Amino acid sequence: MPAPDLAAAERARQRQSRLTKPPGSLGVLEEVAVKLAALQGTPLPRSRPASALLFASDHAVTRHGVSPYPPAVTGAMVENFLRGGAASSVLCRHLGVPLRVVDVGVMRPLSPPAVEGVSFRRDPVADEPGGDLRVEDAMSEATFQRALAAGAAEVDALPDEVRLVVLGEMGIGNTTVAAAVAALLLGREAEEVVGRGTGVDEAGLARKVEVVRDAVRRLRGASPEHAVRSAGGRDIAALMGAAGRAIERRKAVLVDGFIVSVAMLALERMAPGAREWMLFAHRSAEAGHRHVLESLGARPLLELGLRLGEGSGALTALPLVDAACALHAGMATFEEAGVPDKGRG
């Protein structure tokens, strides 16, 4: 992982101290600007251009009734993204952010994009079988590596000028998958990390807990890579690959909710220092998200009870990142405005 530019961060911090406001009065927005300065190597960072990458995959664990929605919803929702009708599609259109949807494991034919600003690719890893994490490994080693590469390839295709990569996912059953990976990485029990996902009832929640408990029992003590390969999914692996390549290219990563955060936790465990390149958009309503954020030492920008996924929370937070950069670059200093600073009369 490349190191942030501490000298640029210090210059940004000094600029903040000279802007026409009391020190620290813009709170976290000041911290965001200074952090981006370190990541971009300039005292005047930018949040744009930004680009959104969304990785979609089915999950065999749905056979255990862990979601109130059938697996076919994953493919149907991907087509909804492409037609512009999903929440993330609307937010990307509103914010002027291109949306790239990548199929890494959807087991049904998908339509090409139908609206401007949305593009689609089906990666060959989508054709490889996935296992039921409760009783078998979710991915072979080869599939895991190809899913990582699928994510990295999408970042490689981004223009050099992209400053911020927004990550999202879509996959019925993937809160169960993420909970299993989180339990293994954090050493926590299933009950501590399993949430209601797409809205399971009490019986469905009990099934999710039992499935995750079985996976943890089978894989306890696994390395981070083994945990993701055996209990994760191709979407989580692709998110890791995309974030890792973004960091290598010195692009900041705007992290969505529970599922993306679990992928980022796994990446940090496998590549220490990755965490420094991440901005955490929000804390979701999923039970395990708090534990993941705490483990990463993350302070999310928002807490709105969101639990949709799809990158929607990250896109909702993007205007705050925009505001942080705009204020940092556009506000006058005390000297420029002719305003007396404290201690100077």
Distance, CA of 256 to CA of 270 (rounded, Å):
20
Reported as a single tens digit per residue, the pLDDT across 55-114 is: 999 999 999 999 999 999 999 999 999 999 999 999 999 999 999 999 999 988 777 777
**Residue 154 annotated among the catalytic residues of the structure:** no
Structure tokens at 70: 């059938």
Please tell me the predicted confidence (pLDDT) of residue 343: 58
Query: Can you give the residue ranges of every domain in the chain?
Result: 50-319
Question: For the segment 228-276, what is each residue's pLDDT rounded down to a tens digit?
Answer: 999 999 999 999 999 999 999 999 999 999 999 999 999 999 999 999 9
Which one of 3.30.1960.10, 3.40.50.1820, 3.40.50.10210, 3.30.1360.10 gives the CATH number of domain 50-319? Answer: 3.40.50.10210
Which residue is catalytic, options 192, 310, 335, 336?
310
